[in-house]
């Protein structure tokens, strides 16, 4: 049975103490998710010892987590080597901290494309970056997944073809986090599912109208969720579904569980 994780994105950027209160208040409730997707960013950062300690204590008490790595700065290919090293170091520290409470999955964004550079010129460096991150995570016993980003926002890895070329050229073991909402903006939902099903290890669930990355509740946009879930079930997808809806998150949780046929 698939794990359904609920992202705390709907609480962002409320104070961290409210995040803890939210998680703690419904641990024993039937409406609680199987896991919580936590963000290593800003006031929620794991680099703050108090935050990391709280998550470790919750995990010790039986709360499961998935993790979304730092997302406000993904300058892993920046032409300035100092900025590039700082961004990579931040990601590695995040992975190392997350490994302390054994998350079910760790997702991070692909690199931003520096202004004035062509993505084609940066492929090799991006591949090397991904392999370095994957090797580092594996050394800590943590599985990481790289997410398909929103087309037009200046990131690598927005199309199925980019992922296919990466896997064909590297034979990498890194998994893919399939963000359904992001792929809908590029009209690539079906192509991702048809071409990369064997690489998908995590699914991000939220809806939109195909134009903006609005992170709406499932069923409110134009994504055919019956098709998406049906296809994933037919492919025996066994990884976690992570709900990233910023409004009505618990209704989204109920709807997804209905689709999956795994309501508590």
Q: Give domain limits for the chain.
A: 4-260
Mean pLDDT computed over 231-256: 96
On whether the 4-260 domain is CATH 3.20.20.150, my answer is yes
pLDDT digits 0-9 by tens, 185-210: 999 999 999 999 999 999 999 999 99
Checking if the pLDDT of 171 tops 50, the result is yes
pTM for the full predicted model = 0.96
Report the candidate in 240, 210, 239 with the shortest Cα–Cα distance to residue 224.
210
DSSP state of 175: E
Report which DSSP code applies to 112: B
Supply the mean pLDDT for the chain: 96
4-7 and 65-68 as β-strands: parallel, antiparallel, unpaired?
Answer: unpaired
Q: Please state the φ and ψ torsions of residue 5, each to the nearest 5 degrees.
A: -105, 145
Helix axes 123-139, 81-98, angle to 10 degrees: 30
Residue pLDDT, tens place only, 42-66: 999 999 999 999 999 999 999 999 9
pLDDT single digits (tens) 115-169: 999 999 999 999 999 999 999 999 999 999 999 999 999 999 999 999 999 999 9
Helix/strand/coil percentages in the chain, nearest 5: 45, 15, 40
pLDDT in tens, 77-99: 999 999 999 999 999 999 999 99
């Amino acid at each position: 049975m698939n794990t359904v994780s609920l992202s705390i994105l709907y609480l962002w950027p409320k104070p961290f103490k409210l995040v803890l209160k939210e998680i703690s208040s419904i641990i024993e409730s039937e409406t609680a998710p199987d896991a919580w997707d936590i963000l290593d960013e800003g006031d929620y950062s794991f680099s703050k010892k108090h935050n990391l300690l709280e998550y470790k204590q919750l995990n010790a008490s039986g709360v499961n987590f998935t993790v979304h790595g730092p997302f406000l700065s993904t300058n892993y290919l920046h032409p300035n080597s100092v900025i590039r090293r700082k961004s990579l170091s931040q990601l590695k520290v995040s992975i190392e901290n997350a490994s302390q409470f054994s998350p079910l999955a760790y997702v991070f964004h692909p690199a931003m494309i520096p202004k004035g550079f062509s993505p084609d010129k940066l492929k090799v460096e991006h591949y090397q970056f991904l392999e370095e991150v994957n090797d580092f995570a594996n050394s800590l016993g943590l599985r990481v997944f790289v997410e398909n980003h929103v087309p037009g926002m200046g990131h690598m890895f927005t199309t199925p073809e980019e992922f296919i070329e990466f896997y064909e050229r590297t034979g990498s073991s890194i998994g893919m986090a399939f963000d359904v909402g992001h792929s809908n903006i590029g009209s690539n939902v079906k192509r991702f599912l048809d071409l990369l099903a064997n690489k998908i290890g995590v699914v991000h669930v939220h809806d939109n109208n195909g134009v903006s990355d609005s992170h709406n509740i499932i069923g409110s946009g134009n994504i055919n969720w019956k098709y998406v879930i049906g296809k994933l079930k037919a492919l025996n997808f066994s990884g976690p579904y992570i709900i990233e809806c910023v409004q009505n998150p618990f209704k989204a949780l109920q709807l997804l569980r209905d689709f999956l046929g795994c309501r508590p």
